[in-house]
Amino acid sequence: MDYMDSNKIGQRIENKLIHALGRTISEATNDEIYKAAAECIRDDIMISWADSRKRVQEQGVKKLYYMSAEFLMGRAFSNNLINQGLYEAYREAFWEMGLDFDKITDEENDAGLGNGGLGRLAACFLDSLSTMELPVLGCGIRYEYGMFRQKIVDGTQIEMEDDWLRDGNVWEIERPELSVEVHFNGTIQENWTENGLKIEHKDYNTVIAVPYDVPIIGYKTKTPATLRLWSARSKRRFDFHSFNEGIYDKAMADQTFAEAISKVLYPSDDHMQGKMLRLKQFYFLASATMQSMIKRHKAVFDDLNSLPEHVVIQINETHPALAMPELMRILMDEEDFGWDEAYGMVKKIFHYTNHTIMTEAMECWDENMFRLLLPRIYQIICAINEKYCQKLSVYYSKEEEKIAQMAVIGNNEIRMANLCVALCRRINGVSNLHADILKTRIFKGSYQIFPQKYLAITNGITHRRWLALANQGLYHLVREYVKGDILKDYRLFEQILPYKDDKEFCKKYEKVKRNNKIRFAKYIKEKQGIEVNPESIFDVHCKRLHEYKRQLLKCLHIIYIYQKIKKDPTCITTPITFIFAAKAAPGYARAKEIIRLIHSIQEMVNKDPDMDGKIQVVFVENYCVSVAEILIPAADISEQISTAGMEASGTGNMKFMMNGALTIGTMDGANIEIAERVGQENIFIFGDSAEGNYNKKMYHTYNPGIIFENHPGIRDVCNCLIEGNLLRYGNRKYSEIYQNLLFGEYGEADPYYILADFPSYIETYEKVYHLYVDHKDEWIKKAIVNTAKSGYFSSDRTIEQYNEKIWNLKPVK
């Protein structure tokens, strides 16, 4: 559609306003103009979307079902324009109509369907799959309130509803005709007939799953992906009789039970009701998707025996894992398949991406709760577990403890990761290091028996959004110097590399970064009333708040610099702005305490006149995709400081490097591969290795007390948590954090080894700072190298590898 001129676009928008809303341009609000323009864009997408679905069906090609509890899509308006090749034309059309393009696009709410890297990865994958013309249905839940909207009050995170659907969602299409029933609770009755055993599920509660489809277009594609989001509704939405008798709670009870399922992403699970709701959510997604898949296959291909030839399913983390026993239930109880047939089919179709080695993220469900809520699925999982343990006993005949650890059911828990390992055909880590940890530690017993199952596919990001949309200045600069269409071919990034020695290019590159910093300064002033100096170094730590991501290490480092300035005001000659952006899970007390600490440090630093023109601390509220698109291009320093061995991959590190920030980080996740690509001289690595951290854990060799005693500067920083200026300015003690740093919990030293890596971090940061201050030309060259080498981390490359090694999809002709 890139032939369309701005005049025609303006006419279309005006016509849409008149016919849909009865408004003229001069009368319409920004929201009305946004919706009219979005509908024009959507009209064009609908044509290719409908056509591609028809072609997929006619050609009978294999289709990917990508199942994920999160799809952190961000805003669609501008991204769709980039991918259609219409971004500049629409900007010009808005200008000609006297409209502010940025203000109009700001009317769109971020789709609140994810929490962090897991959901953002899923969004990038849909973009890349569509760009490569590969047929895919992304399957998730249409969370009415998403994660939460973060508000900071007196330094404390307050969670507020993220009502992202309050103004509707112009991009989605409701498909009530494709609704299915999902059943919970009840009893299972076994009936022997002349045709064998028949299972009947009785006295269950019914929830209706209603699909909403969203087209996701890749770059200049003819095969848009489909994101199918399931919304929960009651089968009996309203009890009219009870209502007329004045029993209003009873009248709405069914509706409340059902619709809670798709209200909120990750409801707090620090109580049994929250755990049960999460289990309902994940089964709801699994059941609705499997029923829908079976219905489509029967309608198009008739014979269910051909399912493995036409369908491949990727489970993004363990949340959708119940799709496997659910598919077996459908095949056996509704389609008359035998156990072996159903079991064999599942093992051909499903594949599992693991995203974490953190124990608390390895989902386990209470066995009694599971049995009550999903009685038939429980029976099937029991049988799967028995069959799996029999197989394991052949290899580990005298190692009962090992078999018990690998079992799907154990210690009154049902273990989702072990279910995936038992049934999935391929299991992949999301970086080389992560895959090695899965093989040698997390799933070692399985890997020794089935090594062919395991592989590494490093994550990626879509450079359409994270370069062309988020960093227009850099995109236009790159486009001047690169031959070919870099948005179609990520390999063209390498053409940038020789220009690191071109003075004119370096000057333009530096100007782009400065403009991005000015843009962020304007944003934070408008949104939070905070003034930042765009001439300062922007040092950014933005990601989900978790102890292993070590926002706390950065906090301690800021205190260290603060104390250093108090002793020697000349130690900082170029000011630094330390920027945090993070949400903590509502039930994660320690993470929320770290947010309070950040704000206490912010008060201490920003209110102390000695720090004026030296350092500043900023916390960006309500971090989301659209905020990241402004913040990441402005960053000079990218903080990737997780405890080595704990970050599976990371994708923020890739976004920062693409946008010209230099990384200070541990040898963790994809940082290792970034270092391999850019060279050790173009990244700043500190701290112990994953192996070193593992040995500290295994042999209990970590003693933070020794570091505390031997490093006076570190001792002063730790003591600041419970006394001194932090208490005076921040008005709060952090005794629990202090205790945990020095003594750990339950007799275990701090498992994130913050003080262990602190001396190395201080030393490395000194090198980072002095390079920026004393050798700015060299800094810019290194930044250009990072941009030039970021093409490898495009999600297009990631999808190529998934398709080659796992899916074997064919492009739609």
Report which of 716, 741, 736, 715 is spatially closest to residue 593, judged by C-alpha positions.
Answer: 736
Catalytic residue chosen out of the listed positions 35, 91, 319, 355: 355
Supply 29's token pair.
């609000």
Active site residue 355: yes
Catalytic residue chosen out of the listed positions 651, 663, 787, 798: 651
- The type of residue at 811 is P
Q: Which residues pair with 617 in a beta bridge?
A: 578
Active site residue 651: yes
454-456 and 426-429 as β-strands: parallel, antiparallel, unpaired?
Answer: parallel
CA 241 to chain CA centroid, Å, is 45
| DSSP 8-state symbol, 499 | G
Report which of 584, 664, 659 is spatially closest to residue 621, judged by C-alpha positions.
Answer: 584
Which position has the token pair 């066995």?
A: 367
Active site residue 733: no
Residue partners of 167: CB distance under 8 A and separation at least 6: 31, 109
Q: How far is CA 14 from CA 20, 29, 82, 282, 519, in A?
A: 10, 13, 22, 43, 30
Active site residue 544: yes
- The type of residue at 13 is I
**Range list of H helices, 67-214:** 77-84, 87-96, 101-105, 117-131
Report which of 357, 374, 371 is spatially closest to residue 323, judged by C-alpha positions.
Answer: 374
| CA–CA gap between residue 181 and residue 126 (Å, rounded) | 27
Instruction: Give 157-199 as a DSSP string.
Output: EEEE---TTTT--TT-EE-GGG-EEEEES-EEEEEEETTEEEE
Residue 783 near residue 509, CB atoms below 8 Å? yes
Q: SS3 for 488?
A: coil
| CA–CA gap between residue 735 and residue 559 (Å, rounded) | 16
Which position has the token pair 């236009």?
A: 476
| CA–CA gap between residue 540 and residue 616 (Å, rounded) | 12
Catalytic residue chosen out of the listed positions 16, 439, 453, 655: 655
Phi first, then psi: give them for residue 164, nearest 5 degrees.
-70, -15
Catalytic residue chosen out of the listed positions 63, 434, 463, 543: 543
Catalytic residue chosen out of the listed positions 142, 280, 544, 592: 544
Active site residues: 355, 543-544, 549, 651, 655
